[in-house]
Amino acid sequence: MNTLTLAVELAYWQQTTLRAVIGLVAVLLPAGTLVYLFLFKMMSFMQSRLGPMEAGPYGSLQLLAEVGKFLQKEDIVPAKADRVVFKAAPFVVLVSTFLLVLVIPGGPDLVFIDVDTGIFLALAVSSISVIGILMAGWASASKYSLLGALRATGQLIAYELPLVLAVMGVVIQAGTLNMQGIVMAQAQGEIFGFGGIGSPFILTQFLGFAIFLIAVQAELTQPPFDMPVAESELVTGYLTEYSGMRFLMFFIGEFATAGIFAALASTLFLGGWYIPGLDPTDNLFNVIGPMVLMGKIILVSFLIFWFRFTYPRFREDQLQTLAWKVLIPLSLINIVVTGVLKVVF
């Protein structure tokens, strides 16, 4: 790994502070963009309405207004709730989200941590959020919350398997778990001897990409996989008793995780910060890399939110059937085929 040469030498604590600030921006900026662009505007257009128009030009400051509104609200804890667990639950979900962003590279030298386990670490920390959801549902002392949390857990466990197995195909092809290594494998790869566009794994791993996106949709518990928060049956599931700041934390967690999973999908299948035709070791990518990645995040999350606003909700049994009887066998076949082809070629 070559190191980034800066004009100033930074002490360890300065680097750490810088990383923390950039991490915050890297989590909150995509989350805000997704909420405004897709939840406020795209959904409105798909439903033949304008969406928020009052706050700022074209409603662009609506997000600040919403955050201000949530911050002013009273932080209500139900009388019979388990206070400590109830209050800690949103933090557990947010910790999972903030740990996820660490492995995503934004350029040849722009990494938070350049670890050997890479994508495996990301998938491991993404599973911590389940505990936060269970804590929230149980501590609320509400039947709606508990049912919502149990449904969410059943769903997250079921869809974590295809999520992990879909990534396996990419790992086999790239020959590494390291996210930077996966980007490089795509940038320097060739398709039947033609290296003009590198080898973005979406071409060879399209099945993996499709399974990954479906599983992400379910992991985010958004429509069509929103049984845990089905408003006609469970009010809002495990979120029912939350208000004000803590509700906002769950909300930010949901959309930040959507953005980060889109970033993971872009890095694994679309070449991450790389655009074809340039030298991947070029210092230029330290500048334009994050912007390229952001473009790809918006592209992938457009797909995610398009499905979200289009399809009706799955029934609970259909949801489990899809995971266990369709997605998991398909991803296992994908792994076997990829493994065989990797050995043959």
Exposure string for 93-125, b = 16+ CB within 10 A, e = fewer: bbebbbbbbbbbbbbbbbbbeebeebbbbbbeb
Among 39, 150, 197, 335, interactor with other proteins by CB under 8 A: 150
Q: Which is nearer to other proteins, 63 or 92 (CB)?
A: 92
Residue whose CB is less far from other proteins, 89 or 304: 89
Write down the least CB distance from residue 192 to other proteins, Å: 27
Tell me which DSSP letter residue 324 carries.
Answer: I
Question: Which two three-digit tokens encode residue 148?
Answer: 């919502």
Among 18, 20, 46, 157, binds other proteins (CB under 8 A): 157
Report d(CA 149, CA 341) in Å as an integer.
41
Segment near other proteins (CB under 8 A); pick from 7-15, 56-64, 241-249, 259-267: 7-15
243 close to 69: Cβ distance less than 8 angstroms: no
Nearer to other proteins by Cβ, of 257 and 301: the residue is 257
Site string for other proteins, 41-80 (x = CB under 8 A): ---------------------------------------x
Q: Is 194 in the site for other proteins (CB under 8 A)?
A: no
Name residue 191's beta-bridge partners: 194
Q: Which of residues 79-138 bind other proteins (CB under 8 A)?
A: 80-82, 85, 109, 111-117, 120-121, 123-125, 127-128, 130-131, 134-135, 137-138
Q: How far apart are CA 294 and CA 287, in angstroms?
A: 12
Show contacts of 78-85: CB within 8 Å, 24+ apart.
78/140, 78/141, 78/142, 78/241, 80/141, 81/139, 81/140, 81/141, 81/241, 82/138, 82/139, 82/141, 83/139, 85/135, 85/138, 85/139
Smallest gap from residue 168 Cβ to other proteins (A): 13
Query: Which of 86/247 has CB closer to other proteins?
Result: 86
User: Angle 98-99-104 (CA atoms, 0-180°, nearest 5)?
Assistant: 95
List the one residue from 97, 100, 160, 247 that touches other proteins (CB under 8 A): 160
Q: Hey, what amino acid is at 151?
A: R
CA angle, residues 101, 328, 183, in degrees to nearest 5: 35
Q: Does 153 contact other proteins by CB under 8 A? A: yes
CB of 12 to other proteins, least distance (A): 3
Element (H, E) at 267: helix 244-269
Contact residues for other proteins, defined by CB under 8 A: 1-4, 11-12, 15-16, 80-82, 85, 109, 111-117, 120-121, 123-125, 127-128, 130-131, 134-135, 137-139, 141, 146, 149-150, 153-154, 157, 160, 177
